[in-house]
Structure 1
Amino acid sequence: MPASSLLLLCLACAPPRSSRITIGAKNFTEQVVLGELLAQEIEAVTGERVDRRFYLAGSYICQQALVSGRIDGYAEYTGTALTAILKQPLPQVGQRDAATVLRRVSDLYASKYQVSAGPPLGFEDTFAMVVRGDDARRLGLKTISDVAGMLDPTSQGRDVGHPALRLAWRLGVGYEFEERPDGLKGLEAAYGLMFAAPPRVMDLGLLYRVLAEKQVDMVAGNSTDGPIRALGFVVLEDDRHYFPPYEAVPLFRDDSLQRHPGIRIAEDRLAGKVTADDIRAMNDAVDGQHRDVGDVVREFRGKRGL
């Protein structure tokens, strides 16, 4: 039985949620940070303990947990919600501004699932095509188009020391990115990317390790990942504007908001409070410095006067 089916079975068989608010999160560091942030802020507002149900695999499992009532809410990204969950086509380039995408996402969640999208937390975490810093400097790579113009899967990995020579590069991606409508297939088509072999698909936590060890030459990471700066990697510009906005927003069931009005207060207190630099720093504190996520979030909240 596939792992996703097992997870769904576990969710279906889990006991009903308690009277306490339950916050979910996907299975990577930033999601756990955001889940803890929501949980701590709700606890501060209500004075009541919040249950955590973190590491719920990917977007699909979190969505199923939300609509089934196993969790009351979690943090999602608008572009992910639009394409991977709500199954909408990528919007036209002129309709990809953050406000338009958020409005569309909010309307669809409300009409289809009785779920409310709260105010954005203040940062965007877009997909990021990441390469080693020394490769970017040596080859003059700044954009995804720069890489596309140098890729040749028949070149046997020869260096671009001469204009006639091309690169046979290998790509590393997470499980979701390979299948998502805003993921690999569309990106390859938009840029004409030709890699030397099918992508290496792996857990998100391994992407930067294999890039550093030169097992792959480019990875599809996230723009707020802590290791990018820590390891001197470079994010290539999405110069053809393929990716939609990915603002981080809290999602909560409407019935949960009615039963627990403190959730709305917590959402409003967190609105616009988290910058991209803030979330990178918290991600790195948990991943790179191996600090407890609860302590990291409490420290951040203290600095923000929350």
Structure 2
Amino acid sequence: SPEYIDLLKSAKFVAAQVSLISADDKLLRFIETRPGGATPSASSRLDAMKKLVNNGIWTTCRIQPMIPRVTEMGMRELIFKLAEIGVNHVIVEFMKFPLMHAKGMSLKLKQQLNKYCEEGGELPEDLRRFNNDLYSFYKSFPDSVVIGNYLFFSRKEKARLMKQFAQMVREANKEYGTRMTFASGDEETQFLNFTWNCCGIDQLEGFEGFSTCTIQTMLKIIREKGKVTLEDMKNYYNPCMEKFFQLWRKKVRGMYYFEERVFGLKAIEENGKIAYTFDENLIPG
């Protein structure tokens, strides 16, 4: 509404994020529900973002969760629509399942996807082989992982698809003459980010706190110096520095913690201390 636009424009430092996981209103009708009714349509949210952009308000579209084989199939259409209306930044994060609720979540989503298919919607054959059960589909990949009580999607598939989404943004920018930036909300693929903060706010005056994003800071230093040391990281604010020091040296399943969490990071030992470099050959695929 004009009142909200005026309120946002009156602030000195402001950025807006709008959640939208698909441009397909029919699909959203089944997979986005809330008590008492449906969520706003894709077209209404695209219109809202266009109004924000046209009024000079820096705008991000948050595509979270990105659901493999469900919203994945419409990502190109959505990204091109976002570039067409001038959205400044797009962030993509894959669906992850909290283990305590994973089967129940997947069952509910399966029921909705089945209804979608009954009304003429189409889903890829590899998901249909699992009766549209995303939990079983995730578990079918040998490189799906459980970290911190969450089930994460296949590491190879995540790397492959995030590269495609980043390339879609480049192609959309070329098509519309725009400068929309891209970022992965998943730590594993943040090496693909166009910005030093997954929300892209490092591009804005007054948002200097982006350096608290630990993984992005590590990658930034590696790009500048070829490696990052613990001494380098001590120069940046971290609310959990003691825990960070522990993770720096921690090993998980035969790898250092950060090697497992971020594709391409490689631990090296120098004078008895651990530093990290980046090696593209370590990216799954």
Q: TM-score, normalised by structure 2?
A: 0.30
The higher relative CO (CA closer than 8 Å, separation ≥ 6) is in: 1
Between structures 1 and 2, the one with greater strand share: 2
